[in-house]
Chains A and B, each alone.
Chain A
Amino acid sequence: MTVPLLEAHELDLRFGAIRALDRVNLSLWPGEVLAIVGESGSGKSSLLHVLSGQGAPDAGRVLYRDPAGAQHDVHAMPAPHLRALHRSDWGFVHQNPRDALRMTVSAGGNVGERLMAQGARHYGDIREIATDWLRQVEIDPSRIDDLPRTFSGGMLQRLQIARTLATHPRLVFMDEPTGGLDVSVQARLLDLIRSLVSRLGLAVLLVTHDIAVARLLAGRIIVMRRGQVVETGLTDQVLDDPQHPYTQLLVSSVLQA
């Protein structure tokens, strides 16, 4: 495909005197993983917020191309239309799975809920799809009727991913998806995300402060600082041959295990 799925043009966002986004441009093509890295306060979470339509920018536009090829201004869309997009074409993986999951609904119910929001009604079909997704994210299907609060942190994150991907989104926003997990759990999740992304041909916007995660998952990378994009390009090139002083600092500050 030769046209971007999502485009951001000249995004500006201020919180008082702070410029959270300062003339940010980016494009995301179908099937690619784009990492947005930077330290806390660099504006990367604000960017994800604006790109996914959860918050409006002060200036600039975000354009999404639907499967039929028509472009939509994400912030000019009627609210029901945007909600429908979040239920179908888009997915969102939060750092804290508790922000996305319903903790009082069974694991299978959490996956099925998103399918039902998309119109699925047949109980047996929904349960079958939910079972299949639990298996894909390596959760024992016998846990399908258990409540999420009986799950470990890593299992909750995998459940959130199953819930998000069950409706076959084309574009997934991920906010620190491996943050807050033990390193061993993190490695397994990285492998899972990597194989799902390539098998399903997902486009992913991945926000992370962990450049090792960006290196393993993303083909391209954007480095942000104080609301500005300071460097962008091929992930390994930006990390191994950083041009901007800030990127050099970021790369040289990583602890070697």
Chain B
Amino acid sequence: MSKIVLQTENLGKSFTLHLQGGATMPVLAGVDLSLASGECVVLSGPSGAGKSTLMRSLYGNYRVGHGHVRIRHRDAWVDFATADPRKILEVRQETLGYVSQFLRVVPRVPTLDIVAEPLIARGAPREAALARARSLLFRLNLPERLHSLPPATFSGGEQQRVNLARGFIGGHPILLLDEPTASLDATNRDAVVGLVAEAKATGTAILGIVHDAPTRDAIADRLFLLSPVQAAA
């Protein structure tokens, strides 16, 4: 049942800041992480340990510095360290979903369309995708009068729920959650816990950064500890 769907091998990442005299900042070194279908792993470690950097490296948003990031896609492994950009886009469309902390969308597009888009991109009929978007937004307690408005003027918590609905709608086999509950109240945190539990039950592998302890305890099967890399002198 539970097979590995995401794996890193000796993953390292450092940033070279050319505008600051070429200073190099090591952030990740020797990360070996694996994630199986149907489980939820939460990254832990102090601020600055590289949790967000790891997350972004897994999504291909940051280039793999050293080592490998392998994603199970169409019954084969895709290594983001060497994959063609177009392959990474295909993996994101079909296999790997991501809920970021911030919503980044075309201005003036209604919320319902923003949420439905990943499902339409995966080939679902528009009406069915919109219906699914509506039901997800209701589950996350976003009032109907907001569905037809663009989210630019929404509160932080409302935008985050739009982002969550957009992340969960695709039904991707692997889902990365970057602080999905940071600006939510208790009711909405519970809704997120429910969504995660359902996704796990259908075999979705979930990796998250979750700072609030009740949510973390409710969703995590295990924790993965990251320690800050010691800067080489």
Contacts and interface: CB of A to CB of B under 8 A. Distances in A.
Interface of A: 29, 32, 184, 187-188, 190-191, 194, 198, 215-216, 219-220, 233-234, 236-237, 240-241, 243-245, 248-249, 252
B61 interface: yes
A60 B60 CA distance: 32
Contacts of B89: 219, 234
Contact of B85 (A184, A190, A216, A234): A234
Given A237-B61, A248-B18, A190 B121 contact: no
Contacts of A188: 108
Interface of B: 15-19, 56, 60-63, 85-86, 88-89, 104-109, 121
A183 B194 CA distance: 40
A245 B106 contact: no
26 contacts: A32-B86, A187-B106, A190-B107, A191-B106, A191-B109, A194-B106, A215-B104, A216-B105, A219-B86, A219-B89, A220-B86, A233-B63, A234-B60, A234-B85, A237-B60, A237-B61, A237-B62, A240-B56, A241-B61, A241-B62, A243-B63, A244-B18, A248-B18, A248-B19, A249-B18, A252-B19
User: Would you list the 10 A-B pairs with minimal beta carbon distance, nearest first?
Assistant: A245-B18, A187-B107, A234-B85, A241-B62, A187-B108, A191-B106, A248-B18, A241-B63, A219-B89, A220-B85
B62 A29 contact: no
Contacts of A219: 85-86, 89
A240 B106 contact: no
A32 B86 CA distance: 9
A234 B106 contact: no
Contact of B62 (A184, A240, A244): A240
A191 B86 contact: no
Contacts of B63: 233, 237, 241, 243
Contacts of B105: 216
A187 B150 CA distance: 12
Contacts of B19: 245, 248-249, 252
Contacts of A32: 86
A244 B108 CA distance: 33
Contacts of A237: 60-63, 85
A233 B85 contact: yes
A249 B18 CA distance: 8
A125 to B, nearest CB: 27
Contacts of A245: 18-19
Nearest to B109: A191
Contacts of A216: 105-106
Nearest to A251: B19
A139 to B, nearest CB: 17
Contacts of A241: 15, 56, 61-63
A41 to B, nearest CB: 21
Contacts of B104: 215
A190 B106 CA distance: 7
A207 B85 CA distance: 19
Contacts of B121: 198
A29 B86 CA distance: 9
B184 to A, nearest CB: 25
B204 to A, nearest CB: 23
B17 A248 contact: yes
Contacts of A29: 86
Contacts of A233: 63, 85
Contacts of B86: 29, 32, 219-220
Most chain B CB within 10 A, of A32, A198, A234, A236, is at: A234
Given A198-B121, A241-B56, A249-B18, 16 more contacts: A32-B86, A188-B108, A190-B107, A191-B106, A191-B108, A219-B86, A220-B86, A234-B85, A234-B88, A236-B61, A237-B60, A237-B85, A240-B62, A248-B17, A248-B19, A249-B19
Contacts of B60: 234, 237
Nearest to A233: B85
A240 B108 CA distance: 24
A156 B154 CA distance: 32
Residue of B18, B56, B61 with most chain A CB atoms under a 10 A cut-off = B18
Residue from the set B56, B62, B106, B109 with the largest chain A CB neighbour count within 10 Å: B106
A237 B92 CA distance: 13
A182 B89 CA distance: 31
A54 to B, nearest CB: 27
Contacts of B61: 236-237, 240-241
